[in-house]
Amino acid sequence: QLQLVESGGKLVQPGESLRLSCTASSFTMDDYAFAWARQAPGKEREGVAATSTSGEITNYADSVKGRFTISRDDFKNTIYLQMNNLKPEDAAVYYCAAGQYYHGAYLSPDFYDYWGQGTQVTVSS
């Protein structure tokens, strides 16, 4: 089955930038839509960014729109989340997710069947 592994999380100060990576095991990566979701202590997991199977459609949560960018490189089997101007409220464990649908980029975690183990992002001065 599809395996996802996130990397890149670390401690950063407010206003700084960070790029997360997610490596997928699938050789048919273009069969999947991908998303990034996050979960902070005491809160539900929320989708923050999603991309369609083609990579042509993206969707972002209002809280990160204009600051975060999701992208994919199918030749490298990698999905990225570029995070700029990080805020303390962005601190969370960030998860990469995949799902087999073909006509959109959906933020809800319910659309995804495969999940990585997460990478911790801490934003603090």
CB atoms within 10 A of CB 76: 12
Residue 73 DSSP class: E
Q: What is the pLDDT of residues 29-47, one digit of tens each?
A: 788 999 999 999 999 999 9
CA distance 27 to 44: 31
Provide mean pLDDT across the span 45-52. Answer: 97
- pLDDT of 68 reads 98
The span from the CA of 125 to the CA of 75, in Å, is 37
Query: Which pLDDT score, from 0 to 100, does residue 101 have?
Result: 86
Q: Which of 67, 73, 29, 26 is nearest to 48 (CA)?
A: 67
Q: What percent of the chain has pLDDT over 90?
A: 87
Q: Is 111 helix (H, G, I), strand (E, B) or coil?
A: helix
Q: Report how far residue 73's alpha carbon sits from residue 78's, in angstroms, rounded to the nearest whole number.
A: 5
**Position 6 pLDDT exceeds 70:** yes
pLDDT in tens, 15-30: 999 999 999 997 677 8
